[in-house]
Chain A
Amino acid sequence: DQQVKQNSPSLSVQEGRISILNCDYTNSMFDYFLWYKKYPAEGPTFLISISSIKDKNEDGRFTVFLNKSAKHLSLHIVPSQPGDSAVYFCAARKTGANNLFFGTGTRLTVIP
């Protein structure tokens, strides 16, 4: 049973425009959320995170929004750059636990 879902397997965006990647979760016990970026032949690398006590966290071009009532989070990349082309995974963690539950990933392609 997939507790973290990324319903869009792929997304294409023009360079300079905004990329919006979405993630939904089903378990209300999740209280910490992360986004990872993965290039081919490499492991996932941490991008940005958000605690459930916040609804927004920003780091440079990357912003994560959390809507707890909808059990939904999104990652905004503005402006998108060709180097952002990668697979993006969202992940969630329960209170008091360390293991992460991952979504299935969204492949972002930024077109020059």
Chain B
Amino acid sequence: EAQVTQNPRYLITVTGKKLTVTCSQNMNHEYMSWYRQDPGLGLRQIYYSMNVEVTDKGDVPEGYKVSRKEKRNFPLILESPSPNQTSLYFCASGGYSNQPQHFGDGTRLSIL
């Protein structure tokens, strides 16, 4: 079964404590991306990756890092989280050349 798996699904943490949200896909897709969803703003892209070791900024990259050491994994890193990064985060896979993207089930982060 085609899957995009994110972990954790929920996390409450404090300002400044580094955290990583993992994302893994089993569809051998080259293209992966991260979005955040906020009320009244829809989904906004944070970072994307065209392939292993190839990453680039999306629309709202400030405060985030990513890495793509393997094709299947695309972790999102918050080095020093702040309350304005409290949001619902989605990892997506695929979507190259007019193919639809497949989304994970989301990670709800609360930064206190």
* Residues of chain B lying within 8 A (CB to CB) of residue A43: 4, 90, 92, 103-106
Interface residues on A, range: 20 to 34
Complex CA–CA separation, A89 to B88 (angstroms):
15
Q: A2-B42, A105-B42 are in contact. Are A44 and B31 (CB under 8 A)?
A: no
Chain A's nearest CB lies how many Å from the CB of B88? 10
Q: Contact between B40 and A51 (Cβ–Cβ < 8 Å)?
A: no
Chain B's nearest CB lies how many Å from the CB of A54? 12
Which of A55-63, A73-81, A94-102 touches B?
A94-102
* Residues of chain B lying within 8 A (CB to CB) of residue A51: 98
Render A91-112 as a binary contact track against B, CB cut-off 8 A, 1 for contact: 1010000111011110000000
Q: Contact between B90 and A42 (Cβ–Cβ < 8 Å)?
A: no
- Of B35, B95, B106, which contacts A98 at CB under 8 A? B95
Q: Contact between B31 and A98 (Cβ–Cβ < 8 Å)?
A: yes
We find that the number of chain B residues with CB closer than 8 angstroms to chain A is 26
- Of B41, B59, B102, which contacts A104 at CB under 8 A? B41
Q: Contact between A98 and B48 (Cβ–Cβ < 8 Å)?
A: yes
- A32 touches B (CB below 8 Å): yes
- B73 touches A (CB below 8 Å): no
Q: Which residues on A are within 8 Å of B, measured CB to CB?
A: 2, 4, 6, 32, 34, 36, 41-46, 49, 51, 89, 91, 93, 98-100, 102-105
